[in-house]
Amino acid sequence: MENYKLICSGRKIRKGGGVELYIKADRNYKVSKDLSIYNEDIMESLFIEIINEKNKNIIIGVIYRAPDSDLKRFLERITEITEK
């Protein structure tokens, strides 16, 4: 997409999958590695922190849970993320 940057977190073991998001090209951001989880058996996520010089920074992300994954383990991971 024009004027947007694609940020990806692809699968490392199997083909396909992964998560990605777009951010306006002029935005200053950093990937939040402590929130981004890559585990093909449970979930895949990607979070970024948008640097905002005049206000608080904003954290946004994308999460994918495969339909056949363990719901209990997924909810445990989501709880870990939201507590951070």
* pLDDT given at position 29: 95
Is 16's pLDDT higher than 70?
no
pLDDT digits (tens, 9 = 90+) for 21-77: 999 999 999 998 877 766 667 788 899 999 998 999 999 999 888 888 889 988 988
Q: For 1-84, where are the E strands, in sequence order? A: 4-9, 19-24, 29-31, 38-39, 43-50, 58-64
Q: What is the pTM of this model?
A: 0.79
- At residue 43, the 3 state secondary structure works out as strand
Q: What does the domain layout of the chain look like in residue ranges?
A: 4-83
How far is Cα 73 from Cα 8, in angstroms, rounded to an integer? 24
Residue 11's pLDDT band, with cuts at 50, 70 and 90, is: low
